[in-house]
Structure 1
Amino acid sequence: MSKVKAAVFASGTGSNFEAIMKSENLACEIVLLVCDKPGAKVIEKAEQFGVQTFVLNPKDFSSKTEYEAEVLQAVRSHDVEWIFLAGYMRLVGKSLLEAYEGKMLNIHPSLLPAFPGKDAIGQAFQAGANVTGVTVHYIDEGMDTGPIIAQEKVPVFPGDTETSLKARIQAVEHVLYPRVINEVVCLSEFNTVD
């Protein structure tokens, strides 16, 4: 039986993309990387794993709708059923949300609803939090507001720097995200079997 096809959306270095690709027995096949930052390191990683890349600069489009129409065409042409955001630094718009409702996940480096948006690790650090963590959630139209699937706490130690905290958060992300991906994809497949 062939695996469900999925795409990863990423904008940066691709550490979560790499963790997903290296995950053993992944319940889906990653067939496409969508990147909104030409030159991002994640593009190189995708090529190393033999994953096709679709790289677009949103600034080349007159509107978010026009940009997402191109993205939607790309994911559909690869028969993508699931989309996983992994450091994708854009809010997903209506056309993608409607096409992939309940089939888009995001990973965020905080215990949502605390510290949503950009630089969540820096936000936690500046707030003097003694615990932060990682959240995997479904995507909705808000900024990190979709239904939470899983969370894992990461303590903030007195001697931590943003760099040391980020390293510990990423270590948790790289285990949690592939596990949650497997759980939701397997559950979805189980529920669609006649």
Structure 2
Amino acid sequence: MAAGKLRVGVLASGQGSNLQALIDACADPSFPAEIVHVLSNVEGAYALERARRAGIPTALIRHREYSSREAFDAAVDACLREAGVEFVCLAGFMRLLSEGFVRGWDGRMINIHPSLLPSFKGLHTHAQALQAGVKVHGCTVHFVRPALDDGPVLAQAAVPVLPGDSADLLAARVLEQEHRIYPLALRLIAEGRAVVDGDVVRIDAPHAGQALVNPVAP
């Protein structure tokens, strides 16, 4: 483990393509963060295989083995802290986190959501966007607050909604952008250039006066 780098834990429930984007970014020696642990609640989640291939320690904590959300979250919290995790990235972690867990990682946990928040919270965001008839869709990296898909926005990327789009076609284009902005968001945090100020994120970066939409990597 490299000294001075932000120690990151990633929670994932599925394929882990956003996890892979973070793994690839962290493979650059100049990247200011390192993934020290990957945890899933789903046995057989491919995210765990991605981590193992990268030599990252993993854990499987099955939520069905716990009597309550709080008990499961306590086990996750203990695992992360035992691994020396300093910052948490949610990468398709399909569990609603308890308020106590979120408060415990306040300002130290981000999520990537497949919509331009605050629009289209929850599941099936691409179908929601098509049903609403919006012309622009996208993804958001945000700090996590107790409410669902809520919290200060750090970065967003937009894609056009094209004639004839299906939810799957739109999802594929959005996912490409997710893979681009999640590592950028983590870099800004690890370098101390993104700071939560109430309900907004202040960013010390080139062109910081502009919205961080479709950003160019610093």
Structure 2 Cα separation of the partners of residues 121 and 162 of structure 1: 5
Higher relative contact order, structure no. (Cα contacts within 8 Å, ≥ 6 residues apart): 1
Is contact 1:113–1:145 with CA below 8 Å preserved after alignment? yes
Structure 2 Cα separation of the partners of residues 26 and 143 of structure 1: 30
Deviation, 1:50, is 1.1
Structure 2 Cα separation of the partners of residues 64 and 4 of structure 1: 28
Structure 2 Cα separation of the partners of residues 167 and 159 of structure 1: 14
What TM-score do you get using the length of structure 2 for normalisation?
Answer: 0.83
Q: Deviations over 1:65-106 (max 9, x none)?
A: 111111111101111110000111112213322221100000
- Specify the code of the residue in structure 1 equivalent to 2:77: L
* Aligned counterpart, 2:13: 11
Q: Give the % identical residues.
A: 37
- Specify the code of the residue in structure 1 equivalent to 2:79: A
Q: What 5-or-longer segments of structure 2 have no aligned partner?
A: 196-218
RMSD between aligned residues: 1.6
Select the structure that is richer in helix.
1
Structure 1 Cα separation of the partners of residues 19 and 189 of structure 2: 17
Q: Deviations over 1:106-142 (max 9, x none)?
A: 0001000110011212211232221111111000101
* Aligned counterpart, 1:183: 188
Tell whether 2:18 aligns with 1:21.
no
- State which of 39, 52, 56 in structure 2 corresponds to 1:34: 39
Q: Which runs of 4+ in 1 moved over 3 A?
A: none
* Aligned counterpart, 2:158: 153
Change in 2 beyond 3 A, CA 1:189/1:4: farther
Correspondence list, 1:1-194, <5 A = 1-23=3-25, 24=28, 25-187=30-192
Is contact 1:111–1:133 with CA below 8 Å preserved after alignment? yes
Q: Deviations over 1:38-76 (max 9, x none)?
A: 111111111111111111111110111111111111101
Deviation, 1:179, is 0.3
Structure 1 Cα separation of the partners of residues 11 and 66 of structure 2: 18
Structure 1 Cα separation of the partners of residues 162 and 193 of structure 2: 38
Structure 1 Cα separation of the partners of residues 136 and 130 of structure 2: 10
Structure 2 Cα separation of the partners of residues 157 and 33 of structure 1: 36
Deviation, 1:188, is 6.6
Deviation, 1:180, is 0.7
Change in 2 beyond 3 A, CA 1:93/1:29: same
What TM-score do you get using the length of structure 1 for normalisation?
Answer: 0.92
Q: What 5-or-longer segments of structure 1 have no aligned partner?
A: none
Is contact 1:91–1:141 with CA below 8 Å preserved after alignment? no
Structure 2 Cα separation of the partners of residues 73 and 189 of structure 1: 27
Change in 2 beyond 3 A, CA 1:158/1:187: same
Is contact 1:91–1:142 with CA below 8 Å preserved after alignment? no
Q: Which moved more, 1:167-176 or 1:23-32?
A: 23-32
